[in-house]
Structure 1
Amino acid sequence: MIRHVFAALLLAAIASGTRAQQSNYSELPDPRPVDPVAWSTVKPGTHAFFGSADVRYDKIFAPDAGTLRSAWKTQAWRGEKVHTQFVIYTTKAVKAVSIEKSDLKDTKGNKIPSSAITPGFIRYVMTDELNSEGGGCGHRRPQDFDSSLVADGIDIIPAIDINANNVQPVWLSVTVPPQTPAGVYKGSIRIKTASGYLPAPLNYEITVSERVLPQPKDWAFHLDLWQSPYAIARVHNTKLWSKEHFDAMRPYMKMLADAGQKVITTSIIYDPWNSQTYDIYGDMIKWTKKKDGSWLFDYTVFDKWVSFMMEMGISKQIASFSMIPWNLKFFYYDEAAGKDLVLTAKPGTPEYDQHWRPMLTDFARHLKSKGWFDITCIAMDERPLESMQSAIKLIRSVDKDYKVSLAGLYHKELVDDIFDYCLASGLDFTKEEKEKRLAKGWPSTVYTCCSEGFPNTFTFSPPAESAWLGWHAAAKNYSGYLRWAYNCWVKDPLQDSRFKTWAAGDTYLVYPGPRSSIRFERMIEGVQAYEKIRVLKAAGKGAELEKVLKTFEINALKQKKAADMVNAANAVLNRL
């Protein structure tokens, strides 16, 4: 019954149609009117200048010309991806605006090829704001929050029309090939419209260092952004786990692997998060209670998903959710009854033990047969101490070598039992605990969720906060960062990032397409900074770095802007 309902919901979503594969789409109207006064001082025509990656430019307000530049200069390590924005704004409507790029060249004939340069039109999505308590949790009615259009998604379309008295930001990324010789590389961007080119090109240069940033697959940073294959099936109109579904998922998961993702999100029960997402997580393992009382477990979907993710380059860890779902409901098919049934049981009770012991036993057998046991964690999030202790006791009674992961509050009692322990921001292990865990190679990470007003990755959060998180992880000696979620999309994620619960953008970092976002690109910047810090410390530069790192305290954001902190810290990185 439950599985039939899930299938019906998916088919209904497919029938409704989506915009995931459209070459273009319409943004929602801005709730605010165009301010004619703001545009009255703008010279008639179409203009383009470099801006800042720290700014979400308003769509209908002319940018402050004093903050714009005709050229851009930056520094990069070999293998690093760097970025900025340039801003097109116009007093008249212009059609078919496109971006032409060319190789970046040094004086010796070396080049960064144009294939390593990616411009993308930034799109506007509806967002909201923090609640009256300064957080992002709790049920939301749109009328209770100030909503506005905000720049975030980075589109994949080759050309766009711009209305009169509108702003069109463009994200510019350059990935420096690892083998690029050190030097100064110069090039330009040209902007073309239906009526011709804008008169002045946008010139820029990148000074490439001798230093080399490792490739994402070799990054030590433990990035754990939770994935939803179910959302992709809905948005791309595909049958779950079909060839078309996996084909649709491939570019998303490749983009995630290129960000340094380490963990595969799996759901070993139906609906581990009590339907908190727009798309319910199904069970990747089918549970069947046979007529004789024994259990049969079908791992077909689990194996397909894990194998696929490993092919994408994500293979360090498998997180299997969850032995302690938020509603404590466990669905299974009962042969004797001829239908799906549900058991409600608390950890530590006989019913819970009887339900989970056969599964844990068979799951260990299956994982060992696939060679995955040592990288799999029985995963829980934000569960009470007593529940965790009861579950761990059961898990270890089945196999003492089972690994467990938890994202949640700090509990001293669990520090030596949890392999992958991720603490909510603002919490920490003791110095001795963290050193002991890291010496054992146990991931000891930090996460943000709807609770934190800042730093965070909402669609209205300052972009630099996404990069700030990587610096904070380095400063606190965390081994990485976790965020829910990579792509738990809302009903219409391209147009409206708001959700019935939690602040806008809390549920996803990338858009259907796949389309990246300002938030996701800045997060990658923070991960790269973490890796550069690691390389520099190994080269004996730790003392200089500590002066900068000690400033990355959460409370510092009450007085300082994340952008100012990150920019100052990056200047130090580039100097060392």
Structure 2
Amino acid sequence: MTRFSILCLLGLFSTSMLFAQNGVTQCGTPTGQPRFPLNTYQELPDPATPSAEEWATVSTPKASWGSIDYRYAKRMIPTKGLQKVSVLQGWRGERVNAQAVVWTGEDIQNLNLSLTGFKSSKGAVLPADACTAAFMRYVMTDQLNLNGKGGCGNRPDHSLFDSLLVADMIDPDLKSMKLPARTSQPIWVQCWIPQSTTPGMYKGNLLVKDGEKLIASLPLEIKVSSRELPQPSEWAYHLDLWQNPFAVARYYQVPLWSQAHMDAMRPLMKMLADAGQKIITTSIMHKPWNGQTEDYFESMVTWLKRADGTWAFDYTVFDRWVEFMMGVGINKQINCYSMVPWKLSFQYFDQATNSLQFVTTAPGEPAYEEMWMAMLTSFAKHLKEKGWFDICTIAMDERPMEVMQKTLKVIRKADPDFKVSLAGNYHEQIEKDLYDYCIAIGQNFPEDVRIRRAAENKRTTYYTCCSEAHPNTFTFSDPAEAVWISFYSSKKHLDGYLRWAYNSWPLEPLLDSRFRSWAGGDTYLVYPGARSCLRFERLIEGIQAHEKIRILRQEFQEKGNEAGLRKIEKMLVPFNLGDMPEIPAATTVNRAYSILNSF
């Protein structure tokens, strides 16, 4: 047993009575409040101490526009990116973001926000619900591994890592708050420009008040282009963020697959659909990733071995989940994990013994082929009856090539028309067999392979995980790295991006983003209560940029605009993987935006 496991167990035993009433973070640290909060909650104490000398210069509450490229520390006076007016640019149909920050040397009893209307010089107005303002909340995080080269691996003692509060979550439910003296508070403002908007410059203000007393009226200008971005459901971008319904059931304390479970997931998954998600994540066997997350993936398919040795399969849960996800607008692809789980152990209900049993077998072995031939034959028949066969893939991740070759033989034997997806290393020998091929960010598809795959209407993407120090979407990552990810995909002419965890929450995700195995925030991009965050909104921002580049490339190719095409490619040249952090992601991204917004 690792030292970390022992520490966790000791912490949990020592707080066992408390856990029944109050929350506990991953290693037994009490939160001092009911576990799994949804509406109101208190952030964890800030490990940082404010400087009395610095804060002595602040006598009255102040507010300013800041920059979305910075996370403003709770106990520090903001200095970076401050500006009197925030000027945003966007296409019709695009979401644009701004960040403001309030700081005070005295208590603010009732800090609240509102937005005025936004009107152009020609009298056109944005709808009242087009723009929103919300307080950002602080969550505990840590840092990269001590060598600075990534965030993978067990973290046996978090005292070895810096622990700090960072602004990340966006909380639309928090309408007002008390802001203690010597504290800074960031504010997130987003405008989703309607596609019907008349082009022009729209002006309005963010009003920051203490009760009815005005602290600041911050001018916001939005320049709306005549160009139009389609609805997210129409984006070509192939976004694959893996969903974890099991985490939602645990956090909301509702029975798995009940109506209450579905109701809890609906706004969370609608957020994902609005980001352009294309794929439904399904688990067709028990623990495809060997329970690596706080809430492991159970099988959505019931495996039954009859007393006579034949197999039967029930797809009730699988169907319920897929139909639910399609109902929120995610309906382009179903990825089914995994014929090659991380632990080659397969659970089934054994009728002869009336008990759950496990069989340990591997691709290439007779038992493996016998079991999976029965499953895939039944599964193909079911998918065809539901009309889903053509959008379904048998999915694996990070599996060796030799294992994949043996697995592919079984799949083709069961039904040669099954689509297959893989997230892992690039293997020339199996590339042609893969419909959806996602490789690690440090690898490359040969140019002729990428072009051929596009002509064959196959999906070609890349992924990041805990391995990458930069770019990444940890809770301590440079916010612009989430945008950089999709500019890089555009540079490589890829279809999109995969990340393994949309909502695999740790024990108390609203309070503490740290996890036992990876850097803080690695396991999730959104929060309970269908709350977004800085990382997720900036990821969407990059996806929009990728889609805009795709639209412009297509237009310039059709019109023979060689100068426009060259300008786009030149814009993307600086997106080099090895440049960060020496060249901050924000520097590269903002230079690209100045060009992209000129078209």
Alignment TM class, shorter chain as reference: over 0.9
What's the CA shift for 1:23? 2.5
Which residue does 2:114 correspond to in 1?
Answer: 100
What's the CA shift for 1:68? 1.2
Which residue does 2:71 correspond to in 1?
Answer: 56
Aligned mate of 2:568, from 545, 548, 556: 545
Which residue does 2:101 correspond to in 1?
Answer: 87
Q: How many residues align?
A: 562
Distance 1:78 1:449, change over 3 A: same
Which residue does 2:143 correspond to in 1?
Answer: 129
Aligned mate of 1:227, from 220, 243, 255: 243
Aligned mate of 1:387, from 403, 409, 414: 403
Aligned counterparts of 2:257 and 2:43: Cα–Cα separation in 1: 31
Aligned counterparts of 2:368 and 2:128: Cα–Cα separation in 1: 58
What's the CA shift for 1:312? 0.5
Aligned counterparts of 1:330 and 1:29: Cα–Cα separation in 2: 44
3-state SS in 2 of match to 1:478: coil
- Is the contact between residue 190 and residue 197 of structure 1 (CA under 8 Å) also seen in structure 2? no
What's the CA shift for 1:483? 0.3
3-state SS in 2 of match to 1:67: coil
Which residue does 1:336 correspond to in 2?
Answer: 352
Aligned mate of 1:427, from 426, 440, 443: 443
1:183 maps to amino acid: G
Aligned counterparts of 2:159 and 2:218: Cα–Cα separation in 1: 42
What's the CA shift for 1:19? 5.7
What's the CA shift for 1:110? 1.1
Which residue does 1:374 correspond to in 2?
Answer: 390
Distance 1:138 1:152, change over 3 A: same
Q: Provide Cα deviations, 1:123-153, integer angstroms capped at 9, x if missing partner.
A: 1111111112321110002112111111111
The aligned runs of 1:67-216 (5 Å cut-off) are 67-133=81-147, 134-140=149-155, 141-156=157-172, 157-194=174-211, 196-216=212-232
3-state SS in 1 of match to 2:421: strand
3-state SS in 2 of match to 1:481: strand
CA RMSD of aligned residues (A): 1.5
3-state SS in 1 of match to 2:352: coil
> Does 2:420 correspond to 1:404?
yes
- Is the contact between residue 141 and residue 514 of structure 2 (CA under 8 Å) also seen in structure 1? yes
> Does 2:295 correspond to 1:279?
yes
- Is the contact between residue 94 and residue 163 of structure 1 (CA under 8 Å) also seen in structure 2? yes
1:161 maps to amino acid: K
- Is the contact between residue 14 and residue 237 of structure 1 (CA under 8 Å) also seen in structure 2? no
Aligned counterparts of 2:40 and 2:207: Cα–Cα separation in 1: 22
Aligned counterparts of 1:57 and 1:545: Cα–Cα separation in 2: 33
- Is the contact between residue 19 and residue 25 of structure 1 (CA under 8 Å) also seen in structure 2? no
1:545 maps to amino acid: I
- Is the contact between residue 20 and residue 513 of structure 1 (CA under 8 Å) also seen in structure 2? no
The aligned runs of 1:35-50 (5 Å cut-off) are 35-42=51-58, 44-50=59-65
Distance 1:336 1:98, change over 3 A: same
What's the CA shift for 1:199? 4.4
2:457 maps to amino acid: G
> Does 2:590 correspond to 1:571?
no
> Does 2:488 correspond to 1:472?
yes
Aligned counterparts of 2:581 and 2:508: Cα–Cα separation in 1: 33
Which residue does 2:42 correspond to in 1?
Answer: 26
What's the CA shift for 1:15? 8.8
Q: Provide Cα deviations, 1:404-431, integer angstroms capped at 9, x if missing partner.
A: 1111111111110111000001101100
Which residue does 1:9 correspond to in 2?
Answer: none
Aligned counterparts of 2:431 and 2:320: Cα–Cα separation in 1: 33
The aligned runs of 1:421-460 (5 Å cut-off) are 421-460=437-476
Aligned counterparts of 2:597 and 2:280: Cα–Cα separation in 1: 33
Aligned counterparts of 2:581 and 2:364: Cα–Cα separation in 1: 43
TM (normalized to structure 1)? 0.96
- In structure 2, list runs of 5 or more residues that go unmatched: 1-18, 24-33, 557-563
Aligned counterparts of 2:56 and 2:233: Cα–Cα separation in 1: 51
The aligned runs of 1:232-247 (5 Å cut-off) are 232-247=248-263
Aligned counterparts of 2:494 and 2:146: Cα–Cα separation in 1: 31
Which residue does 2:9 correspond to in 1?
Answer: none
Q: Provide Cα deviations, 1:359-406, integer angstroms capped at 9, x if missing partner.
A: 000000000000000111111110111111111110001111001111
What's the CA shift for 1:63? 0.7
3-state SS in 1 of match to 2:216: coil
Which residue does 1:7 correspond to in 2?
Answer: none
3-state SS in 2 of match to 1:149: strand
What's the CA shift for 1:547? 0.4
3-state SS in 2 of match to 1:57: coil
1:564 maps to amino acid: T
Aligned counterparts of 2:324 and 2:116: Cα–Cα separation in 1: 35
2:268 maps to amino acid: Y
- 296-305 vs 537-546, which deviates more? 537-546
Aligned counterparts of 1:458 and 1:450: Cα–Cα separation in 2: 9
What's the CA shift for 1:40? 2.5
What's the CA shift for 1:197? 2.5
3-state SS in 1 of match to 2:484: helix
3-state SS in 1 of match to 2:469: coil
Q: Provide Cα deviations, 1:520-567, integer angstroms capped at 9, x if missing partner.
A: 000000000001101111221322111011211111224311001111
Q: Percent identity at matched positions?
A: 50
The aligned runs of 1:284-323 (5 Å cut-off) are 284-323=300-339
1:159 maps to amino acid: S
Aligned counterparts of 1:38 and 1:412: Cα–Cα separation in 2: 59
3-state SS in 2 of match to 1:115: coil
Aligned counterparts of 1:19 and 1:120: Cα–Cα separation in 2: 24
Q: Provide Cα deviations, 1:49-100, integer angstroms capped at 9, x if missing partner.
A: 0000000000001111x73122111211100000010001111111221111
2:596 maps to amino acid: L
Q: Provide Cα deviations, 1:490-532, integer angstroms capped at 9, x if missing partner.
A: 0000010000001110000001111101000000000000011
1:250 maps to amino acid: R
TM (normalized to structure 2)? 0.92
Distance 1:240 1:14, change over 3 A: farther
- Is the contact between residue 56 and residue 105 of structure 2 (CA under 8 Å) also seen in structure 1? no
- 97-106 vs 492-501, which deviates more? 97-106
2:424 maps to amino acid: G
Which residue does 1:256 correspond to in 2?
Answer: 272
Which residue does 1:6 correspond to in 2?
Answer: none
Q: Provide Cα deviations, 1:330-353, integer angstroms capped at 9, x if missing partner.
A: 000000011000011111111111
- 522-531 vs 107-116, which deviates more? 107-116
- In structure 1, list runs of 5 or more residues that go unmatched: 1-12
Aligned counterparts of 2:167 and 2:191: Cα–Cα separation in 1: 20
Aligned counterparts of 2:259 and 2:150: Cα–Cα separation in 1: 41
Aligned counterparts of 1:460 and 1:96: Cα–Cα separation in 2: 29
What's the CA shift for 1:41? 2.5
Aligned counterparts of 2:74 and 2:509: Cα–Cα separation in 1: 18
Aligned counterparts of 1:37 and 1:504: Cα–Cα separation in 2: 31
Aligned mate of 1:522, from 512, 534, 538: 538
Which residue does 1:5 correspond to in 2?
Answer: none
Distance 1:59 1:108, change over 3 A: same
Aligned counterparts of 2:412 and 2:351: Cα–Cα separation in 1: 29
